[in-house]
Each structure stands twice: as C-alpha cells, then as structure tokens.
Structure 1
Amino acid sequence: MTRTGDPGLFGPGSVTWQMHGDPMMWVAGIRALYLQALHPRAVRAVMENSDFRRDAWGRLRRTANFVGTTTYGTTEAAERAGARVRRIHRMLTATDPETGERYRIDDPELLLWVHCAEIDSYLHVLRRSGFPLTDAQADRYVAEHRVSARLVGLDPDGVPGSRADLAAYFTAVRPHLAAGADARAVDDFLLRPPTHPLLVPAREVLWRRVAHLAYAALPPYAHELYGRPAPAPAVVTRRLRATGTALRCVPARLRWQLPPKHILRAVARLGPEARPAPYKAARGPAILDQGLSRGPDRARDTTPGRSAGQP
C-alpha cells in the first residue's frame, strides 16, 4: 500500500536515503572522528566544549540521531535539528592551541572541515566495503550533502559538490593538519572508550576491532600524522568487505529496530516502497539533485581504498 507523506530533505529517490541505512555507517562515523581530530582548531573546539570523555556513548548516539533525523525525518524535524545545532554553535568559542586566540566554533572553515571529513568517510567506507555505487552516484551523494551543510550553517555554494571538489578541498587543507596532543587524546579515547567494568572484555574484543578498522581506512597521510602504521591497503579493503558482508547478513528489519528507529518511522510515513536498499541507489537522479553539480556517468572506480581524501 502506498502512503503519502513528507519525504524530508532527501527523500527515497536520493543516494543518501539508501546509503545511510547501511550498517557500515558506524565504522564510517568512527573514521570521520579520527579524520576530524587532525584539524587543530576543530579538535580543540571539541575538547573545550564537549563532554565526550564523560558521556562518550551519549555523544555518539546524538550524532547518529542527527544524521538519522536529517536523512529520514520530516522536513520540519530536519530543519529543527539543524536550527538547534546552529544555535548551540553560535554560543561557543575555543582557544587556539598555538596562538591563544579565541575563536567561534561556528567559523565556516571549521564547519566545512567537519562536513567534508564526514561525507568523505561515509562515502569511502561504504564503497570500499562493497556498497554498490558508480562514480556518478557517488558524485550525486556528495552533491546531495550541500543540503546537510546548509543545516549546520554553511553556504551550499561554497561546499564541495563532487568527489573531484572534495579531493581538491583535502589537497588544499592538508598542510594545516597535525596530530597534536588533542588528536592523540581522541585516538586514545577511541581505542579505549570508558565503559562499565563488566563490558571491558567486550570492548577489547569488539570495539577495538571496529576502531582499528576505522583507523586503517584513513588516508595514508593521516596514518603518517598519527604515527601509527596501518595494514596494506589491499588487506584493509578485504577486512572492510568482510565486515560489510557480515553486517549486511543481519536482516535490515532487525537492524532498524535499534533506537531511535528513524527508518521504520519513515517507512510508516511513506509506505513500504521507501525502504532503503543498495540497489535503489542506481535508479534515476532524485528531484533533489536537479541543479546540483554532478560528475559524468563514468564506470565504477574500482581502485582499492580510493577516496577524495586519498588520491
């Protein structure tokens, strides 16, 4: 039965709708945290204004909830979530770790770095783990997220709209990246997040595997900055594909039962045909894409491990 309802900012016709229902998004999110921590001002803003050390899991859940709301929620819910983020950011400042200068954390330079690190990580991990996307569909995904960039306060016209744009951005920003004390604190935290004593064995067996995999999926320059080696790219790709295959064997309906159930609510609102699935990303361009820059419809890039952040 077909239902009518608000499709939200992206809608079932978008690449984003299909990708963000994939379980490898969790690994991609951790990769994004590793990458984001390499910008000294961005990570200092987190250190001074976040309670991630005391409420690590709460922070991760809130981030996942924001992504889920902006992807699968109604237009009103997504706009409200974006307004809340902008309102919080407007009130916060941080201190430059080198110069002592106070700066606003809603500085467009910082917002752009966080945005690009996230989008590159989501796209890189999912494609490398076997999520089927052509180059043209990958470009559509990047272009679609000019919308999410607007939600956090960026001018969409100044945000990368293709993989080539993302690659150019990372090339320009790379000289400004460093693994200082704050980045190393994030690294230590991601390897050993605080947890209940009874859950420490599970953390060592499960979480550390995920964290190591996310770290290994970073571009080589990030490994050099952190000073920790990673397996050969072909090995990392095999591990990502094996992990993706295993996680995708869990029935989607079961995975979607996990709170806060954004996908189930979207399907209830729009009808069963709105269920996200990888094969649906290959359908025609979404209405949202009209007017956004997209790359040529080239054959799928099969270079192992390649992403905008990794030429």
Structure 2
Amino acid sequence: MTVKDTDTRTGPTGAGAVDTGLLGPDSVSWQLHADPAMWIAGICSLYLQALHPLAAAGVIQHSNFRQDPIGRLARTASFVSLATYATRPEVAAGAAKVRAVHRSLRGRDPDTGATFRIDDPELLLWVHCAEVSTFLTVLRLAGYPLTPAQADRYLDEQRTSATLVGLHADEVPGSRAEMAEYFAAVRPQLRRGADADVVYEFLHRPPLTGPLRLGVPVYQVLAGHLAYSVLPDWAIQHYGRRPYPGPVARAMLRAVRRTALLVPGSIRWRRPAGHVPRAIARLGPQATPSPRRLPRD
C-alpha cells in the first residue's frame, strides 16, 4: 500500500492543500488509534517489550520512569498519537528528536556486559512489532470491529510509521502472516529477566505520590493487571504470574472500553497532547475518528 498525500476535501497535496499527516483520515490507523482501548493496549505492549532483555535493559538504564511514571507513559502515547494525527512537519520534527536521542544512547547487556546501541535496527524492529501487534490484538479483543483485511492493512500502514524511528519499511512485517513469522523467529531470544520484573512491578503499581496514589488500587485492577492478562499466552508463561482467566479478561476489557466510550471524544481526545482535536480542527468534522470510517476491504 502506498500512502497518498491526499485528503477527501482538497485532493493532492500542494499549494493551499490541508496537511492530512503521515497516513491520513482514510487509514485504519487513524480510526484505531483514537479508541480508548488503546490505553490498555499501550500498557500491554510495554509488558511484551520487556521480555526482550536488551529492550528491558534500555528502559531500566535510560528511562526516568521511576521518577516520572505518568510522564513516561504519556510520552510514549503522545508519540503514537503525533505520528498518526499531526501534520507532516510536526511528525518529521518529533521523529528527528526521537532518533537523535536513540542515536546518542548506549546500553549494557545484562548477561554479557557488552555495550549495545539503543538504535540497533533489530532492537528497534522488536519494539515496533511488539507495539503494533499488541495494539491490533488488544483492540480486536476489546470488540473493535476490524476485518482480517483491515487488520492486515493496519500493519501495512504501520510500516510507514516504523520509518520514523529509522527502520526501512520493506524490512518490517506488513501483514498478520508476516508478523507471525517474525514472532516465531524472535521468540527464542525472549525471556523474563530481572529488568522485566522491574517493568512488571512498575506497570502493576506505578510509584505515584500525592493524591494520585489513591487511584493506584483501581488502576491495578482495571488497567495494570488487565493489560497483563491480555498478553499472548506464551508471554504470560514467561512472566509466570497468574492472569485473570481469559473470558474474565475479555469481558473486563470490553466493559472498560464501553464505559470509556460514554465519555465524549472531545474530552477523551484531549490526552495525549491533543493531537486528535487539532487534526479534526484542521481537516473538518469528516476526519473524526470512528469505526464507521474504516476503509472497506
């Protein structure tokens, strides 16, 4: 699939045209990434990413998540939203900052002590695949109405997003079959290590202070452990902690999504960073994300 510089109102990008962003309002990604179940999916993806020893080491060694837990989660969500809904210059600037940070960092392998680059292509590919495959899986479990063809189209679209962190699109899985092949190849490298345990504890009970700490027990039940419980079975086996039973987790996930959908989008989409409302203001109400606007197979 080729991403076109077009929108439904102005045609090809040029003088006077409205910037539709990297993927545009006619993409699967545009509809999917605005759904409230993405918050659970995002947390779930962090559990999965931490099963790669080098990915977990990079987080532990270079992230300030202990000092700023809300900020760490919000920044991750904000980049996904920026890449989907912001203008092309904004996306390019944000991506350049991320690449510059990654380029400057080195990690230490917890097993061998060897130094590794945070922007190593294989590591970037793992983070990308763990992220987008989790988004897709969790949203479908939550009841988001995607056909198999739309699911494949989503992964194909996200190959373009992968280029923002320095990957080559043709080296990134672009369908469910290709993603399954990738995971089959990478799974022997995955395990639960000490760093993964730190990430697990953080995602279950973030170290909040002040009035926010009062909400941690509710978060733990409805987000932290729920997100863990919708990991793939093999990932849960690595962690070795008991999840909610599958039917319970799916019912909870769908109930959380239905409840969140009762909140008007104008309120829900203020976070992270208000990229969705700005995109709607830029492109018009027909660009409002909705499952009804999913491209047909």
Task: Give the TM-score, by structure 2 length.
Answer: 0.92
User: Secondary structure of the residue that 1:145 maps to in structure 2?
Assistant: helix
* 1:29-83 deviations in Å (ceiling 9; x for gaps): 0000000000001110111111111111111111111111110000111111111
Does structure 1 residue 58 correspond to structure 2 residue 71? yes
Identity, in percent, stands at 52
Are the aligned partners of 1:37 and 1:186 in contact in 2 as well (CA < 8 Å)? yes
- Worse-superposed segment, 88-97 or 256-265: 256-265
Q: Distance in 2 between matches of 1:117 and 1:31?
A: 9
1:255 aligned to 268, 271, 291, which one?
268
CA distance in 1, matches of 2:85, 2:231: 27
Comparing 196-205 with 95-104, greater Cα deviation is found at 196-205
How far did 1:259 drift?
5.1
- From 10, 18, 29, give the equivalent of 2:31: 18
Matched residue, 2:3? none
**SS in structure 2 opposite 1:228?**
coil
In structure 2, distance between residues paired with 1:257 and 1:89: 28
Separation of aligned partners in 1, 2:214 and 2:260: 21
Deviation at 1:217, TM superposition (A): 0.3
Structure 1 equivalent of residue 108 of structure 2: 95
The worse-fitting range, judged by mean Cα deviation, of 44-53 and 10-19 is: 44-53
Aligned equivalent of 1:135, options 148, 152, 172: 148
Alignment of 1:220-231 (within 5 A): 220-231=233-244
Structure 2 counterpart of 1:20, one-letter code: H
Are positions 1:37 and 2:50 aligned together?
A: yes
1:234 to 213, 228, 247: 247
Three-state SS of the structure 1 residue aligned to 2:107 is strand
Q: What letter corresponds to residue 157 of structure 1 in structure 2?
A: D
Whether contact under 8 Å (1:192, 1:208) holds in the other structure is no
Does residue 121 in structure 1 map to residue 134 in structure 2? yes
Q: Give SS of 1:161's match.
A: coil
| Corresponding residue number in structure 2 for 1:155 | 168
The match for 1:270 is 283
Whether the aligned pair in 1 keeps the contact of 2:74 and 2:272 (CA below 8 Å) is no
Q: What is the aligned partner in structure 1 of residue 117 from structure 2?
A: 104
Letter in 2 for 1:253: S
Question: How much has 1:27 moved relative to structure 2?
Answer: 0.4
2:158 alignment partner, one of 127, 145, 148: 145
Aligned equivalents of 1:28, 1:259: Cα separation in 2: 15
Question: Which has the higher relative contact order, 1 or 2, with Cα contacts under 8 A spaced 6 or more apart?
Answer: 1
In the alignment, structure 2 segments of 5+ residues that lack a partner are: 1-8, 11-16
Choose from 55, 59, 82 the match for 1:69.
82
Structure 1 unpaired stretches of 5+: 285-296, 298-311
Q: Kindly indicate whether the alpha-carbon contact (under 8 Å) linking 1:42 and 1:110 is maintained by their aligned counterparts in 2.
A: yes
SS in 2 for 1:11: coil
- 1:132/1:279 contact within 8 Å kept: no
Distance across 1 between alignment mates of 2:197 and 2:220: 18
Deviation at 1:160, TM superposition (A): 0.2
Aligned equivalents of 1:195, 1:43: Cα separation in 2: 21
Question: Distance in 1 between the 2:272 and 2:132 partners?
Answer: 23
8 Å CA contact 2:33–2:84 kept in 1: the answer is: yes
Of 191, 198, 202, the residue aligned with 1:185 is 198
Residue 187 (structure 2) aligns with: 174
How many angstroms apart in 1 are the aligned matches of 2:52 and 2:89? 32
Question: How many Å separate the matches in 2 of 1:257 and 1:153?
Answer: 29
Partner secondary structure for residue 62 of structure 1:
helix
Letter paired with 2:254: R
How many residue pairs are counted as aligned between the two chains? 284
